[in-house]
């Protein structure tokens, strides 16, 4: 007997951070009954921030009501936060979805769509201060759950978030089986996975590098929040 279909969608856009998408895909596409929809405004292949081609197979209006919507982040978030078609899609799907999983700065897209008001959420450390501008209750944890919103911190945390979603929807045994399949017993080579643990110089260099994108993001959020609500 086949399990009931579980409709899972992952949003794609130019300059997505591909691991925000592919990490959760790896986990969630393996859930019992999973049907995964790579979805975007058009089916034109997109490139991630470093040039990897990913190909959406569904447009925003072609996917059914999703059980799980994955919203990845990346540099491209700055454009998506002002893209009303994608925001409307996110809002509409979120209203009926069992889970919305934001990964990294995908949380900011959720925020621009109006999904964060009064809700606990997290995002990539370099944009974490922007959560409150979107009305969220910012939490410094790797995976944060509030109602049907599951938010994961930066990039790789999408794997942790997706495994948590797997367990939520299908039980701990499925989560454990996927973790074993993916041999997810990580051994990061350095104590450098967060601003709290990274060497100070390393943090400073990276902050300087990311700074302009984050500053632009702050400007965009001001515009988004000042927009009249429909």
Of 44-52, 79-87, 90-98, 109-117, the window that binds a copy of itself (rule: CB under 8 A) is 44-52
Residues of 92-102 as b/e, b for ≥16 C-beta within 10 angstroms?
Answer: ebbeebebbbb
Residue from 2, 42, 44, 185 that binds a copy of itself (CB under 8 A)? 185
Residue from 5, 85, 184, 215 that binds a copy of itself (CB under 8 A)? 184
Task: Establish if 159 lies at the interface with a copy of itself (CB under 8 A).
Answer: yes
From 192, 230, 223, select the one nearest 81 (Cα to Cα): 223
The residue among 196 and 228 lying less far from a copy of itself, judged by its C-beta, is: 196
Q: What is residue 29's three-state secondary structure?
A: coil
Question: How many chain residues bind a copy of itself (CB under 8 A)?
Answer: 64
Name residues whose C-beta falls within 8 Å of residue 199's C-beta, 6 or more positions apart in sequence: 192
- Tell me the chain's radius of gyration from C-alpha atoms: 17
Task: Establish if 57 lies at the interface with a copy of itself (CB under 8 A).
Answer: yes
Of 53-61, 83-91, 110-118, 221-229, the window that binds a copy of itself (rule: CB under 8 A) is 53-61
The pair of three-digit structure tokens given for residue 91, joined into one six-digit string = 């809002």
Residue 170 catalytic?
no
Shortest Å, Cβ 210 to a copy of itself:
8
Task: Establish if 214 lies at the interface with a copy of itself (CB under 8 A).
Answer: no
Where helices occur in the chain by DSSP H, the ranges are: 18-28, 77-80, 84-96, 106-112, 157-170, 172-181, 200-226
Q: Could you give the CA distance from residue 188 to residue 116 in angstroms, rounded to a whole number? A: 31
The residue among 79 and 197 lying less far from a copy of itself, judged by its C-beta, is: 197
From 144, 127, 72, 80, select the one nearest 102 (Cα to Cα): 72
Residue from 144, 153, 169, 224 that binds a copy of itself (CB under 8 A)? 153
Q: Could you give the CA distance from residue 43 to residue 12 in angstroms, rounded to a whole number? A: 10
Q: Which of 104, 143, 150, 178 is catalytic?
A: 104
> Which residues are tagged catalytic?
104
Binding site for a copy of itself (CB under 8 A): 17-19, 22-23, 25-26, 29-30, 36, 38, 45, 50-55, 57, 104, 124-125, 142-143, 153-157, 159-160, 163-164, 167, 172-173, 175-177, 179-190, 192-195, 197-199, 201-203, 205-206, 210
């Amino acid at each position: 007997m086949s399990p009931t279909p579980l409709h899972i969608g992952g949003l794609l856009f130019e300059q997505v951070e591909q691991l925000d998408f592919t990490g959760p895909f790896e986990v969630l596409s393996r859930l019992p009954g999973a049907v995964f929809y790579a979805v975007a405004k058009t089916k034109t292949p997109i490139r991630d921030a470093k040039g990897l081609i990913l190909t959406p197979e569904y447009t925003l209006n072609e996917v059914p009501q999703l059980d799980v919507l994955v919203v990845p982040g990346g540099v491209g978030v700055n454009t998506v936060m002002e893209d009303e078609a994608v925001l409307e899609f996110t809002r509409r799907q979120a209203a009926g979805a069992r889970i919305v999983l934001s990964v990294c700065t995908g949380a900011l897209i959720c925020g621009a769509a109006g999904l964060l008001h009064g809700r606990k959420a997290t995002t990539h450390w370099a944009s974490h201060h922007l959560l409150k501008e979107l009305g969220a209750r910012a939490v410094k944890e790797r995976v944060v759950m509030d109602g049907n919103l599951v938010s994961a911190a930066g990039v790789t945390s999408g794997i942790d978030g997706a495994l948590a979603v797997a367990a939520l929807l299908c039980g701990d045994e499925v989560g454990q089986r996927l973790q074993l399949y993916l041999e997810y017993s990580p051994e990061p080579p350095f104590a450098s996975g967060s601003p709290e643990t990274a060497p100070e110089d390393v943090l400073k260099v990276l902050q300087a590098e990311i700074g302009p994108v984050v500053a632009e993001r702050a400007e965009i959020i001001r515009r988004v929040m000042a927009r009249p609500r429909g």
